[in-house]
């Protein structure tokens, strides 16, 4: 096992900068997840660590070794792709054994290792089958098994669960977590799936436009995002963003005034009239039974869409006087009607303020 260190890694493709000045170090045995919108450079980082891409500049270390010029097959990394790429003419056992065979490991040891890996992934009864005789989920597990069997220092996984249906995806995600707890391989995992990122990661790296936006533990990323991009990317439904103007009385949200929360007072010195984006997560908004807007942290909205999910109800509502919508996460027994006017109480302890122009967090 080994730590993985990227120092100012940059990758350009002609005039496209795929990743720019990426620097981080994954300690030995940790599970890091790369997330970000399509095209932000996740796969390029993974492929660079694997040695399938050459960095335009920067240094990459695996353990203490500088591996910039070490070819992929000598890097001792195992990679699992979204399309798993099993060898179709080989059985499951042969597929799992392949990497070890190439390394000329003692056949007895290979057999033993295939057995262990198959047991840990519940593949024992499928060892003689060919890939085309397996379901998508089983093929995915074989691809994982092939990577695990190699006992590589570093595991690189590029959306390995994206072809699975919802139930299998949940199960395999839990299996992956258990496997990592047992094996403790240094792992870099690329996904679009928030649940995977939040549940699997020791640390999440949020990327945008080839640059790191934030690196942190999942709860830190969720509760203390460093800017609007991270705040709105992590969380489902996403954090609400309300354009507002800073005034002497508070934040003016399309004519409705929200007071500046106590904990913010005196912390920043915004010029009156400054345009900001307020951020609040759907779970920190409650529907108030107070029909008059007497409490000044209430905001009036019109219900547009109601989505009952059983345990909770998602409500999309329109803000009076604007085209902005606001998502509310309400209890499962709350079912307002489209067109109904609601007064929302915003828990101002959980209010963020972002600079409209830069997206930087002001508070």
Min. distance of Cβ 332 from ligand ATP in angstroms?
33
Residues recorded for the chain: 363
Min. distance of Cβ 16 from ligand ATP in angstroms?
5
**Residue 214 CB burial class (10 angstroms; 0-12, 13-18, ≥19):** buried
Instruction: Identify which of residues 37 and 332 has a Cβ nearer to ligand ATP in the complex.
Output: 37
Instruction: Identify which of residues 36 and 282 has a Cβ nearer to ligand ATP in the complex.
Output: 36
Instruction: Identify which of residues 10 and 203 has a Cβ nearer to ligand ATP in the complex.
Output: 10
Bridge partners of residue 186, in order along the sequence: 154
Contact 232, 209 (CB under 8 A): no
**Tokens describing residue 71:** 């070819």
User: What are the φ/ψ torsions at residue 121 (nearest 5 degrees)?
Assistant: -110, 15
Instruction: Identify which of residues 123 and 143 has a Cβ nearer to ligand ATP in the complex.
Output: 143
Instruction: Identify which of residues 229 and 346 has a Cβ nearer to ligand ATP in the complex.
Output: 229
Instruction: Identify which of residues 50 and 345 has a Cβ nearer to ligand ATP in the complex.
Output: 50
Cα torsion at 86, 113, 196, 228 (round to 10°)? -90
Min. distance of Cβ 38 from ligand ATP in angstroms?
3
Per DSSP, the residues of 151-211 read T-SEEEEESTTTTS-HHHHHHHHHHHHHHHHHH--EEEEE-S-HHHHHHH-SEEEEEETTE
Min. distance of Cβ 291 from ligand ATP in angstroms?
46
Min. distance of Cβ 45 from ligand ATP in angstroms?
7
> What does DSSP say about strands 341-346 and 298-308: parallel, antiparallel, or unpaired?
antiparallel
Instruction: Identify which of residues 158 and 277 has a Cβ nearer to ligand ATP in the complex.
Output: 158
Min. distance of Cβ 61 from ligand ATP in angstroms?
21
Instruction: Identify which of residues 10 and 177 has a Cβ nearer to ligand ATP in the complex.
Output: 10
> Residue 218: CB partners within 8 Å, gap ≥ 6?
197, 198, 199, 201, 204
Contact 126, 132 (CB under 8 A): no
Q: Is 283 helix (H, G, I), strand (E, B) or coil?
A: helix
Min. distance of Cβ 203 from ligand ATP in angstroms?
18
User: What are the φ/ψ torsions at residue 207 (nearest 5 degrees)?
Assistant: -115, 150
Min. distance of Cβ 14 from ligand ATP in angstroms?
7
Min. distance of Cβ 232 from ligand ATP in angstroms?
17
Q: For the chain, first and last CA: distance in Å? A: 40
| Contact residues for ligand ATP, defined by CB under 6 A | 13, 16, 18, 36, 38-44
Instruction: Identify which of residues 205 and 346 has a Cβ nearer to ligand ATP in the complex.
Output: 205
Q: Is 49 helix (H, G, I), strand (E, B) or coil?
A: helix
């Amino acid at each position: 096992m080994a730590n993985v260190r990227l120092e100012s890694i940059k990758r350009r493709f002609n005039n496209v900068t795929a990743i720019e000045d990426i620097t981080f170090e994954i300690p030995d045995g940790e599970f890091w997840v790369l997330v970000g919108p399509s095209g932000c450079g996740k796969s390029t980082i993974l492929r660079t660590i694997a040695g399938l891409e050459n960095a335009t500049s920067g240094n990459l270390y695996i353990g203490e070794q500088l591996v910039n010029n070490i070819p992929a097959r000598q890097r001792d990394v195992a990679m699992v792709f979204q399309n798993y790429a099993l060898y179709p003419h080989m059985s499951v056992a042969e597929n799992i054994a392949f990497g070890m065979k190439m390394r000329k490991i003692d056949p007895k040891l290979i057999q033993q290792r295939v057995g262990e890996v198959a047991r840990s992934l519940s593949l024992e009864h499928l060892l003689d089958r060919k890939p085309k005789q397996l379901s998508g989920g089983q093929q995915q597990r074989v691809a994982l098994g092939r990577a695990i069997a190699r006992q590589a220092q570093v595991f690189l996984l590029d959306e390995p669960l994206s072809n699975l249906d919802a139930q299998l995806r949940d199960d395999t995600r839990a299996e992956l977590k258990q496997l990592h707890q047992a094996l403790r391989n240094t792992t870099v995992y690329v996904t679009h799936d928030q649940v995977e990122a939040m549940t699997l990661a020791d640390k999440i790296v949020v990327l945008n436009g080839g640059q790191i936006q934030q690196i942190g533990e999942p709860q830190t990323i969720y509760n203390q995002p460093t800017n609007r991009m991270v705040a709105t990317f992590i969380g489902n439904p996403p954090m609400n963003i309300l354009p507002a103007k800073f005034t002497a009385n508070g934040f003016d949200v399309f004519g409705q005034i929200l007071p500046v929360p106590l904990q913010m007072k005196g912390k920043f010195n915004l010029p009156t009239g400054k345009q900001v984006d307020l951020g609040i997560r759907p779970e920190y908004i409650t529907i108030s039974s107070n029909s008059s807007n007497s409490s000044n942290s209430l905001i009036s909205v019109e219900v547009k869409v109601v989505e009952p999910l059983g345990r909770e109800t998602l409500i999309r509502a329109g803000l009076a006087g604007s085209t902005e919508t606001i998502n509310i996460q309400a209890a499962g027994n709350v079912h307002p009607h489209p067109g109904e006017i609601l007064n929302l109480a915003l828990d101002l302890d959980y209010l963020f303020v972002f600079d409209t122009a830069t997206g930087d967090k002001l508070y």
